[in-house]
Amino acid sequence: MAIRLGDTAPNFTAETTEGIIDFYDWKGDAWAVLFSHPKDFTPVCTTELGRVAALRKDFAKRNTKVIGLSVDPLDSHMNWMRDIEDVTGHALNFPLIADVNRKVSDLYDMIHPNANDTLTVRSVFVISPDNKVKLTLTYPASTGRNFDELLRVIDSLQLTANYAVATPADWKPGQDVIIASSLSDEDARKRFPGFNAKKPYLRVVPQPGEVQTTR
Ligand code: BEZ
């Protein structure tokens, strides 16, 4: 069954390039990104895994752990890791699940028969410290993901988890944000004195809290 926003992310045990992992134990109370790849030794996937390895510090700064998945076996992953480092200059520094029996792929609905009934699509799940699914993305095999965008979304998710705000189109950390519509004007005045009401339903304030720098 499809995983929806707000669902509890299913737990699993899986063989990975860093040993057997129990997802919940590995994740602890951090945020997590679980992302799938159609197949080992494929060009777009190779660039994606190198890019995520390069962003290690950026994910760590956001208390976010990253775990990849591909349906090929562990020995294939181990050989592919050499290519990833060779091509991108970045050694894999996060676990890659060898989901040979498709247990995790099925659990997270990563195989879409309309795309290919044996390979996972490019799924992304962002999971919060309380193990709730906060973001799902599905890309086709032919389009590599934008991991700067993923960091931007994590910044928005972490900000909106802590403050009664939402982030507007194309928002970047440090830019103005929108007061949540659940907040009355009276409460908004207390929490965000001097807000700018562009419309009664569009109340803008400078971003509260710490401003993340991407790198
Ligand atoms: C790729 O990663 O390049 C890829 C994977 C599966 C199908 C097409 C492209």
Instruction: Identify the residues whose C-beta falls under 6 Å from ligand 1.
Output: 38-39, 42-45, 141-142
**How is the chain split into domains, by residue range?**
13-144, 163-205
Beta bridge pairs of residue 64: 31
**Residue 159 is which amino acid?**
L
Task: Give the global pTM.
Answer: 0.95
The per-residue pLDDT for range 124-175, each reduced to its tens digit, is 999 999 999 999 999 999 999 999 999 999 999 999 999 999 999 999 999 9
- Pocket mutation for ligand 1, best pick of 37, 42, 122 (most atoms within 8 Å of C-beta): 42
Query: Does 174 participate in catalysis according to the annotation?
Result: no
Q: Tell me: domain 163-205, CATH 3.30.1020.10, correct?
A: yes
What sign does the CA torsion over 194, 197, 202, 204 have?
negative
CATH number, domain 13-144? 3.40.30.10
Q: Is 116 buried (19+), middle (13-18) or exposed (0-12) by CB count in 10 A? A: middle
Residues shown for the chain? 215
- Pocket mutation for ligand 1, best pick of 36, 39, 83 (most atoms within 8 Å of C-beta): 39
Q: Same fold for the domain at 13-144 and the one at 163-205?
A: no
Parallel, antiparallel, or unpaired for β 64-70 and 31-37? parallel
Q: What is the pLDDT of residue 115?
A: 87
Which residues of the chain register pLDDT less than 50? Answer: none
